[in-house]
Amino acid sequence: MARIIDGKKIAAETREDIKRRAAEFTAETGVVPGLAVIIVGENPASKVYVRNKHKACLEAGFRSDVIEMSEDTTNDELLAKIEELKADDGIHGILVQLPLPRHLDEKAVLEAIPPEKDVDAFHVVNTGKIMLGDYDFLPCTPAGVMKMLEYEKIDVTGRECVVVGRSNIVGKPMAMLLLHANGTVTVCHSKTRDLGEVTRRADILVVAIGKADFITGDMVKEGAVVIDVGMNRREDGKLTGDVDFASVEPKASAITPVPGGVGPMTITMLLENTLTAAKKKTK
Ligand code: NAP
């Protein structure tokens, strides 16, 4: 039987700590950490994420601005909005909710956010800093996974870490953080031959592919730590991960559930990054 890693509990404790540190910072400086989230269009999942971010900011005592822009917003209009927020001293973090409508230039938009306000850590400067291991912000989901491992006292040093998925927002930075933590890291993707053969080597297996229940018990080593980043909507509307919990949990030593695993950590790390941005601006 695996230990269930309770993301909700870890997130709640971490948010309390962030709230306390933010209150101390505000008392000392008079500055309230501020996050602006821009959402373009009507994507229902994005709306839920943005609402949750807004709520989490308010609960932590932050300023939270949500800027809703219509589906037919142009690149110039979106870039002008970012310019406005760039100049706003009360806003320390700017986040553009992805995915953007197809006609918008995601790369140009992400690079318009100044690195010091890039609390998603998607700007090329922040991406480069992560590569070097000398960073101010980490992308929220991989940072949340590292926080969970630390909380659970799971030492990465010298262990076989396998990351399945190589996206810029999860898989690649995840691999880099495990490497910085002295893991021996392998990254798999859709062209990996005999995926099961690689995943069975993992002491720590992190899965971020976006395919419901894809990793099954026969692909996991006895005693592995399994972190499921996946968030997939089943036909019945229920949320499920990339890991088949029923067959993997009996083999794992520790596992994150979906929901209630990595998900709650992502917004928590966004709060952490916003507080960091406010402190760096103020010092
Ligand atoms: P993505 O950009 O679609 O990337 C998926 C990755 O999985 C790609 O690298 C792809 O390989 C790989 N892949 C696809 N099919 C595969 C297969 N059969 N075998 C091995 N690798 C395969 O997805 P993402 O943005 O990283 O997100 C991944 C999942 O995490 C999604 O379910 C997403 O909803 C979830 N997510 C959760 C959170 C959270 O807060 N919990 C945050 C972000 C994302 P190629 O590169 O070869 O195509």
Task: Tell me how far apart the alpha carbons of residues 121 and 139 are, in angstroms, rounded to a whole number.
Answer: 5
> Is beta strand 232-233 parallel, antiparallel or unpaired with respect to 204-207?
unpaired
In the chain the beta strands, taken as DSSP E runs, fall at: 3-4, 34-40, 63-69, 93-96, 160-164, 184-188, 204-207, 225-228, 232-233, 239-240, 254-255
Residue 237 predicted with pLDDT over 90: no
Q: In a 3-state reduction of DSSP, which class is residue 86?
A: helix
Structure tokens at 106: 């995601």
Residue range 51-77, pLDDT digits in tens? 999 999 999 999 999 999 999 999 999
Provide the 10 A C-beta neighbour count for residue 92: 27
Q: Whose CA is nearest to atom 34 of ligand 1?
A: 231
Q: Whose CA is nearest to atom 40 of ligand 1?
A: 263
113 DSSP assignment: S
Catalytic residue flag (residue 89): no
Which residues does ligand 1 sit against, CB inside 6 Å?
141, 164-167, 169-171, 188-192, 195, 208-211, 229-232, 262-263, 266
Ligand 1 atom index nearest CA of 267: 40
Four-residue CA torsion sign, 57, 10, 188, 155: positive
Confidence at residue 195, expressed as pLDDT on a 0 to 100 scale: 98
Overall average pLDDT of the 22-47 stretch: 97
Q: Per the residue annotation, which of 6, 118, 120, 203 is the catalytic one?
A: 120
Residue range 10-34, pLDDT digits in tens? 999 999 999 999 999 999 999 999 9
Amino acid making up residue 245? F
Task: Tell me how far apart the alpha carbons of residues 116 and 97 are, in angstroms, rounded to a whole number.
Answer: 18
Residue 254 predicted with pLDDT over 90: yes
Overall average pLDDT of the 247-261 stretch: 98
What band does 204 get if pLDDT is binned at 50, 70 and 90? very high
Task: Tell me how far apart the alpha carbons of residues 37 and 57 are, in angstroms, rounded to a whole number.
Answer: 11
Residue range 144-158, pLDDT digits in tens? 999 999 999 999 999
Residue 1 predicted with pLDDT over 90: no
Task: Tell me how far apart the alpha carbons of residues 16 and 271 are, in angstroms, rounded to a whole number.
Answer: 11
Whether the CB-CB separation of 164 and 199 falls below 8 Å is answered with yes
Q: Per the residue annotation, which of 6, 53, 136, 251 is the catalytic one?
A: 53
What band does 283 get if pLDDT is binned at 50, 70 and 90? confident
Phi, psi at 55, each rounded to 5°? -60, -45
Overall average pLDDT of the 224-252 stretch: 96
CA of 165 to the centre of ligand 1 (A): 5
Ligand 1 atom index nearest CA of 214: 18
Tell me the whole-structure pTM to 2 decimals: 0.97
Catalytic residue flag (residue 53): yes
Q: Whose CA is nearest to atom 16 of ligand 1?
A: 190
Phi, psi at 89, each rounded to 5°? -70, -20
**Which among 212, 226, 217 has a CA at the least distance from the CA of 162?**
226
Mean pLDDT, rounded, of the chain: 97
Q: Which residue has the higher pLDDT, 57 or 235?
A: 57
Confidence at residue 69, expressed as pLDDT on a 0 to 100 scale: 98
Residue 217 predicted with pLDDT over 90: yes
Provide the 10 A C-beta neighbour count for residue 258: 23
Confidence at residue 165, expressed as pLDDT on a 0 to 100 scale: 98
Catalytic residue flag (residue 97): yes
Structure tokens at 214: 């894809």
Q: Which long-range contacts (CB under 8 A, 24 or more apart) does 106-112 make?
A: 108/75, 108/79, 109/75, 109/78, 109/79, 109/82, 112/79, 112/82, 112/83
CA of 116 to the centre of ligand 1 (A): 27
CA of 64 to the centre of ligand 1 (A): 29
